[in-house]
Chains A and B, each alone.
Chain A
């Protein structure tokens, strides 16, 4: 799986959009970009994933650059409960290989301030 690079930490004001960047310059054509988050002392929570098109769900939006070498996770209206470590993971989709599994980097600690 391709390696990703994320900032160690970011701050965001409550109610504002949080934009979390991720670089994945060695991504392969069949690899997806996944985002998970981990609130303190809890298991990781799936947020969103995408291949090349921008994606949006009830939690967030995922913007992937045209060359797919980087992406941005957007939390449109951050709340205090969004304070967590956010992990950007690049991997082959689960249904494409039974051997695929999620490996975590260091992630970005997002702190939402009142």
Chain B
């Protein structure tokens, strides 16, 4: 149980275009989802926290107009990187918190974004 999926697993896009990454909790309802970003040889950095049906809360320094997060249902959250630039190339990882008894946090496999 407690599986989180991400799609796509990797994506290449041209500079200036937008790309959407999906995060799904497959066997539980996720009241809260988190988005992390990881640059090479660095640790995971939390970008934003989203609760189902409400606006996401962004960490300091993360541009909310550039990284659009939608958490429309208890099993799906999306991250859209708008007007992507090469410096947005990174490994994006979502995480979902189980809304059941223990509120534990489970991670997706990550999405590798390369902006050319």
* Alpha-carbon distance A105/B43, docked complex (angstroms): 6
A residues adjacent to B (C-beta < 8 A): 36, 38, 41-46, 87, 93-95, 98, 100-107
Q: Which of B12-20, B68-76, B79-87, B91-99 contacts A (4 or more CB under 8 A)?
A: B91-99
- B108, A101: Cβ atoms under 8 Å? no
Q: How large is the interface on B (under 10, 10 to 19, 20 to 34, 35 or more residues)?
A: 20 to 34
Given contacts A95-B103, A102-B105, contact A43 B43 (CB under 8 A): no
* Alpha-carbon distance A34/B112, docked complex (angstroms): 26
Q: Does B46 contact A (CB under 8 A)?
A: yes
* Alpha-carbon distance A46/B96, docked complex (angstroms): 13
Given contacts A95-B103, A101-B105, contact A41 B112 (CB under 8 A): yes
- B109, A94: Cβ atoms under 8 Å? no
Given contacts A102-B95, A105-B43, A106-B43, contact A43 B109 (CB under 8 A): yes
The contact of B49 among A36, A38, A46, A101, by CB within 8 Å, is A101
Q: Could you jot down 10 A-B contacts, CB within 8 Å? A: A42-B110, A43-B95, A44-B107, A87-B43, A94-B103, A95-B103, A98-B103, A100-B103, A102-B95, A105-B43
Known: A44-B107, A98-B103, A102-B95. 10 other contacts (CB 8 A): A41-B110, A43-B110, A44-B95, A93-B103, A94-B97, A95-B101, A98-B32, A101-B46, A106-B43, A107-B43
Q: Which residues of A contact B112 (CB under 8 A)?
A: 41
- A42, B109: Cβ atoms under 8 Å? yes
Instruction: For B102, give the chain A residue with the smallest CB separation.
Output: A95
Instruction: For A49, give the chain B residue with the smallest CB separation.
Output: B104
* Alpha-carbon distance A3/B112, docked complex (angstroms): 29
- B106, A46: Cβ atoms under 8 Å? yes
- A45, B107: Cβ atoms under 8 Å? yes
